[in-house]
Structure 1
Amino acid sequence: MRNLPVFLLAALVLMMGVSSAQASDKLYLYTENFPPYNMSATGRAFEHNGSNIDGLCTEMVKAILNNTDLDYVIKLRNWDYGYNRALSKRNHGIFCTTYTESRAPRFKWVGPLTRNLWTIFAPAGTDLQIDRLEDAKGLRFGGYRNDVMTEYLLERGYEVSALDSDDLNPKRLELGQIDLWIADRLAGPYFASQQNVEGLDPVYSFNDTELFLAINLDTPDATVEKLNAGLRKVHETGMFEAIETKYGL
């Protein structure tokens, strides 16, 4: 190295600097198994390769990224892991995330990507009738950690047995380990079918909410603007409507 001409040394240093800058600008995006919004295409609990991750929100995020010059990685983990990475690390994000007033100052936002409808499911054959959320007071819900629906119930004094992910809650409901399960109206039946649980009864729906890509606060504004500009192009080309239609919305 000491015998290299000065101009070659300078070129090497410059190349190393460019490579380092490119690596630091890469986006690391996380999602969870939450069909049909996000899911492993191979049936695995975790995915390291974005090509093996599918679903409504995933297709929407990929379409947005394809309309930018951003380098990115998409990984599938459990929600709690991805959410905390997005909270704490620059250029990290998580989707699809429900936008709420309490979450608003924690992230920068890209979206909305789509909507969901919060739904309370009861066991098959139930005679339970819920006309308002307060009718479920005293019953034990199944939920999962750092999920907005779980947080909503806990903040209002409802009893929630929360796991690291939502996968096992349909089976817990069927076995009587919980009285009710709060989930998305579209996603709930997908989760249940994966656990070979059939006939769960959607007894009450509320809070039609918007879902976003949430980006760490230390991520440059220019990056977030590129993503939102990419979303506008997805709308303009008709791709947004086509993706929602594909998934029955």
Structure 2
Amino acid sequence: MTNKFLLFILFLLLSLNSALAQTKISLITEDYRPPLNMIIDNKIVGISTEIMQEIMKREKIKYTLEVLPWARGFNTTQKKSDTALFSTTRTPERENLFKWVGPIISNNWVFFAKKGSKIKINSLDDAKKYSIGVYTEDAVTEFLQKNGFVRNENLDVSTNDQQNALKLQAGRIDLWASGSALGPWIVKLANAGSIEELYTFNKTELYAAFNINTDDKIINQLNKQLKKMKQDGTVKKIYNKYFYQK
């Protein structure tokens, strides 16, 4: 019985390794979500990018990496097998659209204002009287709309977050809704002046979202590898590489 059990376990491991070796994942990210993913000197870099690349390397999974506009990448990942999009906020609305690897990083949602602004925000309702920059298909936008904010009234929707940073600096919007980890980096790289964080309206975590048809064995193995990387200090080392550059 013991030998049969060991042979069964060996068979499962060999089957999993074979599945991983035969798999090729198309990784999709977007430019300008620093420090998570961004293009510097024609190279895709960032916290999430390096973490995903290290996971694939350790699991010996072949992959491609490309940058797409957020809305296009989001839709492509839902339709195309063996595809993953990062970094993606895991929300109840998205839960059954994808399979998830993570969390990669915490990223609280906040309202930013131009530094020196006299705006005071103590609740979501306080923010409704201001013009707020968000962008298409983003979870922040979805959350605010669900909580009574209206597109083209108090929501000014752009195609990416860099545009919002520039709009805030130019005085075209009053507030900018984005991630606490992202905002300062976007402003720095866009040379968009100075901002201040006014109010945290949601606490979230970012994941890699895989096409819903991805084999559960692969998802489980990738999550196990990410856990190992957190335990052995690899993830922390990648975090520090970027956050200490600000």
The bucket for the TM-score relative to the shorter chain is: 0.7 to 0.9
**How many Å apart are 1:23 and its aligned residue?**
11
Do the aligned partners of 1:108 and 1:216 also contact (CA within 8 Å) in 2?
A: yes
Which of 215, 227, 244 does residue 239 from structure 2 map onto? Answer: 244
Q: d(CA) in 2 for partners of 1:132 and 1:236?
A: 37
Per the alignment, residue 90 of structure 1 pairs with: 81
Which TM-score applies when normalising by structure 2? Answer: 0.83
Per the alignment, residue 5 of structure 1 pairs with: none
Per the alignment, residue 10 of structure 1 pairs with: none
**How many Å apart are 1:94 and its aligned residue?**
0.5
Q: Which residue type is aligned with residue 44 of structure 2?
A: I
Q: Secondary structure at the match of 1:167?
A: helix
Per the alignment, residue 81 of structure 1 pairs with: 72
Which of 25, 28, 41 does residue 26 from structure 2 map onto? Answer: 28
Per the alignment, residue 137 of structure 1 pairs with: 128
Distance change (3 Å), C-alpha of 1:247 and 1:194? closer
Per the alignment, residue 111 of structure 1 pairs with: 102
Distance change (3 Å), C-alpha of 1:75 and 1:117? same
Q: d(CA) in 2 for partners of 1:22 and 1:110?
A: 15
Which of 112, 129, 146 does residue 137 from structure 2 map onto? Answer: 146
Do the aligned partners of 2:20 and 2:218 also contact (CA within 8 Å) in 1?
A: no
Per-residue displacement from partner, 1:219-238 (whole Å, max 9, x unpaired)?
22222223113213312322
Per-residue displacement from partner, 1:132-169 (whole Å, max 9, x unpaired)?
22111121211111111111111112131212211211
- Of 160-169 and 92-101, the range deviating more from structure 2: 160-169
Which of 70, 90, 115 does residue 99 from structure 1 map onto? Answer: 90
- Of 235-244 and 173-182, the range deviating more from structure 2: 235-244
Per the alignment, residue 217 of structure 1 pairs with: 212
Do the aligned partners of 1:36 and 1:247 also contact (CA within 8 Å) in 2?
A: yes
Which TM-score applies when normalising by structure 1? Answer: 0.82
Per the alignment, residue 196 of structure 1 pairs with: 191
- Of 97-106 and 231-240, the range deviating more from structure 2: 231-240
**How many Å apart are 1:193 and its aligned residue?**
2.2
Per the alignment, residue 125 of structure 1 pairs with: 116
Per the alignment, residue 52 of structure 2 pairs with: 61
Q: Secondary structure at the match of 1:197?
A: coil
- Of 92-101 and 223-232, the range deviating more from structure 2: 223-232
Query: Following superposition of structure 1 onto structure 2, how do residues 10-25 of structure 1 map, counting pairs within 5 Å?
Result: 25=23
Distance change (3 Å), C-alpha of 1:229 and 1:129? same
What is the CA RMSD across the aligned residues, in angstroms?
A: 2.0
Do the aligned partners of 1:109 and 1:212 also contact (CA within 8 Å) in 2?
A: yes
Per the alignment, residue 173 of structure 1 pairs with: 168
Do the aligned partners of 1:119 and 1:203 also contact (CA within 8 Å) in 2?
A: yes
Q: Which residue type is aligned with residue 52 of structure 2?
A: V
Q: d(CA) in 1 for partners of 2:88 and 2:54?
A: 17
Q: d(CA) in 1 for partners of 2:188 and 2:238?
A: 23
Q: Which has the larger radius of gyration?
A: 1
Per-residue displacement from partner, 1:172-226 (whole Å, max 9, x unpaired)?
1122222211111121122122332212221112322111110010122222223
- Segments of 4+ moved more than 3 angstroms: 21-25
Q: Which residue type is aligned with residue 176 of structure 2?
A: W
1:186 maps to 2:181: yes
Distance change (3 Å), C-alpha of 1:237 and 1:23? closer
Q: Which residue type is aligned with residue 39 of structure 1?
A: M
**How many Å apart are 1:90 and its aligned residue?**
0.6
Q: Which residue type is aligned with residue 107 of structure 1?
A: F
Q: How many equivalent residue pairs? A: 221
Q: Which residue type is aligned with residue 72 of structure 1?
A: Y
Q: Secondary structure at the match of 1:154?
A: helix
Q: Secondary structure at the match of 2:226?
A: helix
Give ranges in structure 2 of 5+ residues lacking alignment: 1-18
Q: Which residue type is aligned with residue 34 of structure 2?
A: P
Q: Which residue type is aligned with residue 118 of structure 1?
A: W
